[in-house]
Structure formats: structure tokens, C-alpha cells
Amino acid sequence: MRSLSSESISRSGEHVSTALGKRTKGLLVLVPLLVLCVVTSLGVGAVSITPAQVVSILLEQVGLPPFTTFTEQQAAVLYAIRLPRVLLGVLVGAALSVAGVALQGLFRNPLADPGLLGVSGGASFAVAAVTVLKLQLLGFYTLPVAAFVGSFVAILLIASLAQENGKTNVAMMLLCGVAINALCVSGTGLFTYLSTDDQLRTLTFWQLGSLAGATWTLVSTITPLVLLCAVGMLFLANPLNALLLGEANAHHLGISVERTKWKIVALVALGVGAGVAVSGMIGFIGLVVPHLIRLWLGPNHRVLLPLSALLGSALLVLADLVARTVVVPSELPIGIVTSLAGSPFFLYLLLRQRRTHVL
């Protein structure tokens, strides 16, 4: 018995050491990548700002002496327009990626993402309803609040319908999610059909996603929600690893399966609802980013969750940079950029892995 315990402790130590090694390897690549994307996005645009000027402006904002000169116009553009937009991209990218990792782990299904489960569909339906019915009760915040409430109600409805004898049936939850998503898409289509030309334009651009409406108020509003989602998911990394073995095995390992499911569902609704509320529908990040990290460093959620947040943030900041610079003076919806860039690359990775018999 003593030898078995020693062997288990030894294996556990090796497992933790391996996870730490992979996480360190990922951090060494992804942190510089995110910094590069952020600095580049802050500097590129109608008003050009060099990386040294970007750093100097940021240093001055925190009371430190800058090390190069810059104009007042450059400082104003960076601080008032580009910095909140880039930070919003970082937050939304992290929220969508972490939610995608959690849902794929919960359902043990590589196709699970917030869009498939109906979370994004609920937000879209709510936004379409308040737009067409002219329910501008909260002024500027009406659409973000409606999107958040819609996504939260959708996932609560799905979780309630999946209850069976006091337990949550995961397969039933996935099927209910598909049905609720289809229902929301139909409702959104109906409101779109009934909309006026101006309302149709608003709905279309919101559904394609954009960070153009970024303000410091929006950044400060969703920051605590996204942080709560991301940090909460990190505490659920071990239960998610256990769920990969099946619910029965997770229960035997001491995991409270039902409580874990509800925690995951609540945190996903919180993160995705907040992200969709301020940026509209941005697809593919929650689906493709977890796969990229999983193909690179394996399925351990202690590695997947933090590194997916970093990669999701970097990719969304980069996609936003492309969206606002490729057709100047106009701006492409960011959802078009993420889908155009992500779909072929994702297919390439899947085909390459199939040839090597990994998938």
C-alpha cells in the first residue's frame, strides 16, 4: 500500500511538472506574441505611432518620464481611441477562448462552442427584439444589456431543460442547446424580416461583430466579468480534466460533478454574455483557439485555459487591426476577418493531424 501511494505521488508530481513545463513553453511564446500584437495595433492607423512612442505615451499616463517625443494628437488618438479598443479586444478574445475550452471539456465534444450551445444565439435574439421593438430603455447601454440578458436566459433555459432526476444530462444539454440556438436564429430572422432599413443595418453590423464602439466605460464594465470568468475557470481546471475520463470516473475521483457543471455553465454565460454584449457576434475564436493549443501542447486544462486566453486575445487584436486597416477609410466587420482567416487554417490543421493519425 505504501509503495502504491509513493508511486501515485511520484506520478502526480511528474504530471504536474509536465504541465508546468508545457505552460512555461506556451507562455514564452504567447506572451511576446500578445505584446507584439497589442503594440502593433496601437501604432497602426490613420495617425502613425512608432512602438517607442506607444511605450512613451503609456509611461507618461502612469506618471513616468517618456524616452522619446510625441505629439499631443498621437497621445490623444492612442489613449482615447486605440487603447480602449485594443483592451476590449484582449478581454473579448480571452472570454470567448476560455468559454470554448470549458464547453469542449464539459461536453467532451470538440465542436462545442458558445455559438453551437445557443449562448450567442440568445444574445442575438435579444438584440434583434429590442432594436425592432424600439425598446431603448437604457440609451447607449440598451444593446449590450439586452445581449447579456439574452445569453444568460438562453443558457439557464438550456440547463433547466437538461435536468433529469435532479442531475444534468450533458448530452441532453447539448441537444437542447442546438434546439434553443435554432429557435433563437429563427426569432432573429423574423425580427430582421420585420425591421426597417435603419434597423436592418444596425442588426446586420452587430451580428457581424465589431470593436468600433469601444470606450473606457465599456472596458471598465466588462473587465470584472471577464476576470471572474477566466479566474473561476482556472480553479475548475482539475475538475475539467477529471470530466474527460467520464462523469462516473470523475465522481470516483472526488469531483462534485453536478456542482462543477453549474459552475461552468454560469461562468460561460458570464464571460460570453459580457463579450457578446460589447462586441456583437464574433465567431470562430471560441472554437478554433482551444484546438490550436490542444494540438500544440495537449489536452491538460491547466495548460489549455491560460494559454487559450492569451492566444484568443492576440488573434482578436490582430483580426481587429486587419478589419480597420484593410479597406480604409471604411472598416470590415471583425467576424468576417476571423472566419476568413480561421476557417482555412483550421481545416489545414485538421487534415494534417488526420494524416498523422492524431485525430
The whole-number average pLDDT for the span 111-122 is 76
The pLDDT of residue 353 is above 70 = no
pLDDT, position 96: 92
Q: How far is CA 35 from the centre of its chain?
A: 18
The pLDDT of residue 348 is above 80 = no
pLDDT, position 84: 94
The whole-number average pLDDT for the span 90-98 is 94
pLDDT digit string, tens, across residues 232-286: 999 999 999 988 888 888 888 888 888 888 888 888 888 888 888 788 888 888 8
pLDDT, position 162: 80
234 burial (CB, 10 Å; 0-12 / 13-18 / 19+) is: middle
277 burial (CB, 10 Å; 0-12 / 13-18 / 19+) is: buried
Mean predicted lDDT score pLDDT of the chain: 83
pLDDT digit string, tens, across residues 132-184: 888 877 776 777 778 778 888 888 888 788 877 767 777 787 788 888 888 98
pLDDT, position 349: 67
Most confident of 3-17, 154-168, 178-192: 178-192
Q: Which of 86-95, 129-138, 294-303 has the lowest mean pLDDT?
A: 129-138
Reported as a pLDDT band with limits 50, 70 and 90, residue 345 is confident
The pLDDT of residue 290 is above 70 = yes
Most confident of 44-48, 63-67, 229-233: 229-233
Instruction: Classify the C-alpha dihedral 236-240-242-243 as positive or negative.
Output: positive
Q: Which of 27-41, 100-114, 186-200, 320-334 has the lowest mean pLDDT?
A: 100-114
Q: Which of 77-86, 276-285, 290-299, 312-321 has the lowest mean pLDDT?
A: 276-285
User: Using CA atoms, how far apart are residues 37 and 314, in angstroms rounded to an integer?
Assistant: 6
The whole-number average pLDDT for the span 188-194 is 88
pLDDT, position 355: 67
The pLDDT of residue 1 is above 50 = no
> How far from 236 is each of 165, 277, 280, CA to CA, in Å?
25, 25, 27
Q: Which of 22-36, 134-148, 152-166, 307-321 has the lowest mean pLDDT?
A: 134-148
Reported as a pLDDT band with limits 50, 70 and 90, residue 304 is very high
User: Using CA atoms, how far apart are residues 117 and 157, in angstroms rounded to an integer?
Assistant: 11
User: Using CA atoms, how far apart are residues 235 and 306, in angstroms rounded to an integer?
Assistant: 11
Instruction: Classify the C-alpha dihedral 129-287-208-307 as positive or negative.
Output: positive
Question: Cα 53–29–93 angle (5° rounding)?
Answer: 75
Reported as a pLDDT band with limits 50, 70 and 90, residue 67 is confident
The pLDDT of residue 358 is above 60 = no
User: Using CA atoms, how far apart are residues 227 and 230, in angstroms rounded to an integer?
Assistant: 5
- 22 closest CA partner among 234, 315, 301: 301
pLDDT, position 12: 53
